[in-house]
């Protein structure tokens, strides 16, 4: 089981992680939380009706990682609009969609990252500092979402845009300063792939 998720009887997944792996995943999840930003103030009164009609931002984020995590819904970077009017229309639709969905998307990504941190913090380390992480089906889905977000974030920083870019990562020399980030990207990809397999019926 080391390094790969395996299904648990009755649903969920388990993986053996060493002390360094636990530290890396936790650190990346904390960084993801900081990037996504804080949620509503904890002391604010809970008003479900107000939350339902709360508007989010209408402009895409400036940070390329956040743009990747929260992309425009109605624009396709691969396709040039047929006319300036079409471009303006796409922009207006994207702004409207973002205004009413981004807050919920951020909350979901924040919840997933927090679930990762909490499950790692709840581990009981063995003598070598490692532990076996056991996740319920719900926690497994949250981990899957967080792993996907972490890979998107790291991939954006590495400027990975297609599968050919990934192939090049395997050939990076050890002295390349991107090597640690590349290793994390590939390792998280392996974890994600095996977790997906455990969730398949």
Which tens digits make up the pLDDT trace of 89-113?
Answer: 777 777 777 777 788 889 999 999 9
Instruction: Band the pLDDT of 86: cuts 50, 70, 90.
Output: low
Tens digit of pLDDT for each residue in 28-62?
Answer: 999 999 999 876 544 444 565 555 556 666 677 88
pTM of the model: 0.82
Cα–Cα distance, 179 to 51 (Å, whole number): 43
Determine which of 79-83, 116-120, 187-191, 194-198 has the lowest per-residue pLDDT on average: 79-83
Residue pair 187/22 in contact by the 8 Å Cβ criterion: no
Please give the structure tokens belonging to residue 21: 């792996």
The pLDDT score that the predictor gives to residue 173 is 86
The pLDDT score that the predictor gives to residue 164 is 67
């Amino acid at each position: 089981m080391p390094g790969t998720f395996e299904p648990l009887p009755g649903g969920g997944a388990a993986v053996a992680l060493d002390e360094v792996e636990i530290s890396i995943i936790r650190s990346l999840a904390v960084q993801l939380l900081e990037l996504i930003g804080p949620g509503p103030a904890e002391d604010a009164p809970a008003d479900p009706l107000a939350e339902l009609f709360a508007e989010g931002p209408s402009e895409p984020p400036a940070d390329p990682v956040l743009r990747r995590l929260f992309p425009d819904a109605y624009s396709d970077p691969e396709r040039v609009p047929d006319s300036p009017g079409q471009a303006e229309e796409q922009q207006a639709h994207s702004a409207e969609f973002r205004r009413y969905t981004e807050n919920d998307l951020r909350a979901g990504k924040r919840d997933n990252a927090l679930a990762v941190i909490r499950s790692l913090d709840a581990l009981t380390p063995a003598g070598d500092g490692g532990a076996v992480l056991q996740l319920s089906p719900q926690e497994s889905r949250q981990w899957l979402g967080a792993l996907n977000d972490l890979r998107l974030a790291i991939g954006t920083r590495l400027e990975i845009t297609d599968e050919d870019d990934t192939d090049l990562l395997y050939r990076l020399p050890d002295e390349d300063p991107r090597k640690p980030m590349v290793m994390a990207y590939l390792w998280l990809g392996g974890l994600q792939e095996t977790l997906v397999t455990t969730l398949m019926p």
